[in-house]
Structure 1
């Protein structure tokens, strides 16, 4: 949402500098920001991890990451040389005070070099168990005392339940101001997700329709064709509910369901999102039984290759009770949405990888056309596709060309590829720039995180304490367990998916 950007000198310290997140996402994002002129004139990127590396070796490692994972392809040699002059490495054991003291010396050197107004960003690209020791030592060594110029970026998962989320929030807020804490959810940086706000609040025709009087139901579906791969050990302690619904999907639901903000102030936007979470109907035991579905994939064939079931993936308990699929029917009990079901589903090893938000409008109040004319009649739908294509389409009824009056659905499509010639930035590019400019709009506040956990804790507790006797209950390359279709079919609906070609 920026038209012009002027950035102060910036020091970016990446804990977990040799890790997968930095190589795949952060380094390519920072390089692309540099190439496109969105980095400060003076900046330093300091990667840190336990193993010893020279600056040259670290730079080569990051270049390999950029070459492999950047949306722009391989690096421009001249531009990389200039960019990498600002990339440094400092070995640090975050649990060792002496090691942290050495890191402070390096950071202070760049602060003195860059001068007054230098801002420092500490990015915690590490496992969650390292968040507390890093936060404690940043405070102990007074590395983030200036609340206007120092920020800390925390990756998900932010806690594994309500209790741990509260503990982590308390630990961070004891040492930093809320305006310094950036709880990052990369889904909120995706171009199409950001465009939902523009589409909703910059077009006057939508607001009169955006309520229970005109909307039948809403679906939010994030499906993945991949399995857990090498993340089996992590996924065992997470599952689909924690990994996707508690953060990504509930955030999408909040954007769809929020009231019109007064302005585009970060806290105003986040207030409206929290209002949605607070209005969501709590889960009773009966709700969990009838309005939630969990699943776990078994072996199957994907694109001509046999793939293992979840219980045979590396690091997974052969008798695992962890769900790899979750579908839930939510209700938002307020004036705008009373009675409108929000269906949410996510899962691994499903038929296709896609992220879709479907708003289905109510049928016309009176059909004037005879049945023969409306054989393919379909209620109007607004479909927001986040991936693999980026598009917003409105499905309406139209007359088929010819002498006869025959109606069929037609799409009015806003397609990014067809409309714009420039490449859309990756989510981490957008969010890293927001951190540098101090814009918290797309970042979760403490109360958002805790309210989302509070909503889902009854479901988490029920699923953990009562072992599923049906696991595994869906095959790879399917659309998930049969109960997920039954969940939505009981209300007269079906899960929607865009027709995509599968070779």
Structure 2
């Protein structure tokens, strides 16, 4: 299709018929915290790309809410500056002009009644002028301590009233810092919005490769029987970053790698890998199967041997010498907040009994990568001699989530020649090489799904609370265990992480 068409390229088509695009109906989006980094880097470019793909209605409206004293024209210029260099689709002036006609800005904080009254008046005006039909999604790109204030103001001002059109709230992580706080936040949000109207963003679930886990498992007979304790020795789920805290020291201190990544992203990946096949792929059926897995999951002790945490020190990150955590501006040198976290979990089910799931995440590691590695058991009987197989390791199925999205299968093959020697080879599938379609950015998919009331990729309140229930014992132990270990920037974490696996003769996979 020509790039002049608004449907120039649309990977977000309905799965039942890829000729039919999933186009949002009359609707608008209000972004609280629109002046923040997330809005500028991700949310605003995603809105433009959705419009450019022809997936937003002609009258779509975007309202920014913040403390800046901006006019419509000034905010429009800010949006243009934010999206022009970050969009993933070709720039089309006609699309921008149509989108810009529906852009407005409301000045206010999170506690002033009059500001939310102004916002309510603006949405009513857009309903009349743009035909949004009273359908509004409220994106809370704000710190968690403001969730209750915003929700209470949305209720007081009538903005949460769904009598005329639907109202939905989209919430960014972190959602709580432990099970009790998450339960309280859920209570506050659900007192204003029913659970069916609450969309908790986990952008990892919007990634193409994460969703391909379901296809890999349930559309291919060759793989699904292997996802069980009969064949899998252990599972490693890794999210590694090569960056440090940068300017986020104030936010990060007191949160740490486990709360920031393990509680949400990694446990969600665990649930998708370990869940049983749903009856259908409807949101309710998917959530039911994920929740069954999370309820059966618990951390494995003793935590002194089955977990590890660390803080990065100065070192070489590629060709650059970078400072250590305690030298980062704004970070308390006495802080025990971890930048590396690893823990072992088990799932008490017939499918996964006895299979440890090792989860790890960290900053300033060897490279940026997110992957799931299912390490197979060795063959119960080996006809080959040890000398013939000394170059062979365990079979591994690796699902690469980012940055090189794809699937890798490692298995043994005969080395050419007269001898019967076995060596590992890789069978490697890459999204970028196999498909001409461009994978959509995760926030594109998730924003569109919120407008379409498609909740498959959004964790429920029960999932959030269960995830905290799983992780809290580890966090409570770490709170009394002294300082995290040091690890040098550019390496793969503290030595305690290696000891976690070596006690059972295992090693972390080097991505």
Are positions 1:191 and 2:208 aligned together? Answer: yes
Deviation at 1:375, TM superposition (A): 2.9
1:51 aligns with one of 48, 68, 72: 68
Are positions 1:488 and 2:498 aligned together? Answer: no
Partners of 2:256 and 2:85 lie apart in 1 by: 28
SS of residue in 2 equivalent to 1:113: helix
Q: Who is 1:501 aligned against?
A: none
SS of residue in 2 equivalent to 1:217: strand
SS of residue in 2 equivalent to 1:465: coil
SS of residue in 2 equivalent to 1:229: coil
Tell me if the contact between 1:123 and 1:152 (Cα under 8 Å) persists in the aligned partners. Answer: yes
Partners of 1:78 and 1:114 lie apart in 2 by: 17
TM-score (normalised: structure 1): 0.95
What is the aligned residue count?
493
Deviation at 1:305, TM superposition (A): 2.2
| Deviation larger for 251-260 or 112-121 | 112-121
Q: Who is 1:431 aligned against?
A: 446
SS of residue in 1 equivalent to 2:191: helix
Partners of 1:113 and 1:80 lie apart in 2 by: 18
Tell me if the contact between 2:314 and 2:488 (Cα under 8 Å) persists in the aligned partners. Answer: yes
SS of residue in 2 equivalent to 1:405: coil
Partners of 2:457 and 2:132 lie apart in 1 by: 28
Are positions 1:102 and 2:118 aligned together? Answer: yes
Q: Who is 2:314 aligned against?
A: 299
| Deviation larger for 62-71 or 478-487 | 62-71
| Deviation larger for 269-278 or 61-70 | 61-70
Map of 1:18-29 to 2, 5 A cutoff? 18-29=35-46
Map of 1:250-289 to 2, 5 A cutoff? 250-282=267-299, 286-289=301-304
Map of 1:109-120 to 2, 5 A cutoff? 109-115=125-131, 117-120=133-136
Map of 1:110-259 to 2, 5 A cutoff? 110-115=126-131, 117-146=133-162, 149-259=166-276
Are positions 1:475 and 2:491 aligned together? Answer: no
| Deviation larger for 107-116 or 429-438 | 107-116
Deviation at 1:497, TM superposition (A): 2.4
SS of residue in 1 equivalent to 2:417: coil
Deviation at 1:116, TM superposition (A): 7.8
Deviation at 1:117, TM superposition (A): 4.6
Map of 1:77-88 to 2, 5 A cutoff? 77-88=93-104
SS of residue in 1 equivalent to 2:85: helix
1:360 aligns with one of 357, 360, 375: 375
Partners of 1:275 and 1:314 lie apart in 2 by: 43
Partners of 1:239 and 1:387 lie apart in 2 by: 21
Tell me if the contact between 1:227 and 1:348 (Cα under 8 Å) persists in the aligned partners. Answer: yes
1:441 aligns with one of 456, 459, 475: 456
| Deviation larger for 45-54 or 455-464 | 455-464
Encode CA deviations 1:460-492: one digit per residue, 9 max, x unaligned: 122223322xx4511111111011011011111
Partners of 1:194 and 1:354 lie apart in 2 by: 17
Encode CA deviations 1:150-178: one digit per residue, 9 max, x unaligned: 11000000011112111110001111110
Tell me if the contact between 2:106 and 2:115 (Cα under 8 Å) persists in the aligned partners. Answer: no
| Deviation larger for 232-241 or 105-114 | 105-114
Deviation at 1:374, TM superposition (A): 2.0
Unaligned runs of 5+ in 2: 1-13
| Deviation larger for 436-445 or 457-466 | 457-466
Tell me if the contact between 1:398 and 1:407 (Cα under 8 Å) persists in the aligned partners. Answer: yes
Partners of 1:115 and 1:84 lie apart in 2 by: 15
TM-score (normalised: structure 2): 0.93
Partners of 1:91 and 1:487 lie apart in 2 by: 52
SS of residue in 2 equivalent to 1:315: coil
Partners of 1:426 and 1:251 lie apart in 2 by: 19
Partners of 1:433 and 1:417 lie apart in 2 by: 23
Cα separation, partners in 2 of 1:168 and 1:134, compared to 1, 3 Å = same
SS of residue in 2 equivalent to 1:392: strand
Are positions 1:70 and 2:83 aligned together? Answer: no
Q: Who is 1:383 aligned against?
A: 398
Encode CA deviations 1:403-460: one digit per residue, 9 max, x unaligned: 4333212222221111012211111011111111101110010011011111111221
Partners of 1:87 and 1:60 lie apart in 2 by: 10
2:106 aligns with one of 90, 95, 110: 90
Deviation at 1:46, TM superposition (A): 0.5
Q: Who is 1:344 aligned against?
A: 359
SS of residue in 2 equivalent to 1:193: helix
SS of residue in 2 equivalent to 1:473: strand
Partners of 2:270 and 2:308 lie apart in 1 by: 18
Partners of 2:319 and 2:393 lie apart in 1 by: 34
Partners of 2:332 and 2:278 lie apart in 1 by: 46
2:56 aligns with one of 5, 28, 39: 39
Tell me if the contact between 1:8 and 1:117 (Cα under 8 Å) persists in the aligned partners. Answer: no
Tell me if the contact between 2:32 and 2:142 (Cα under 8 Å) persists in the aligned partners. Answer: yes
SS of residue in 1 equivalent to 2:247: helix
Deviation at 1:82, TM superposition (A): 2.6
| Deviation larger for 113-122 or 160-169 | 113-122
Deviation at 1:401, TM superposition (A): 3.0
Cα RMSD after superposing both structures: 1.7
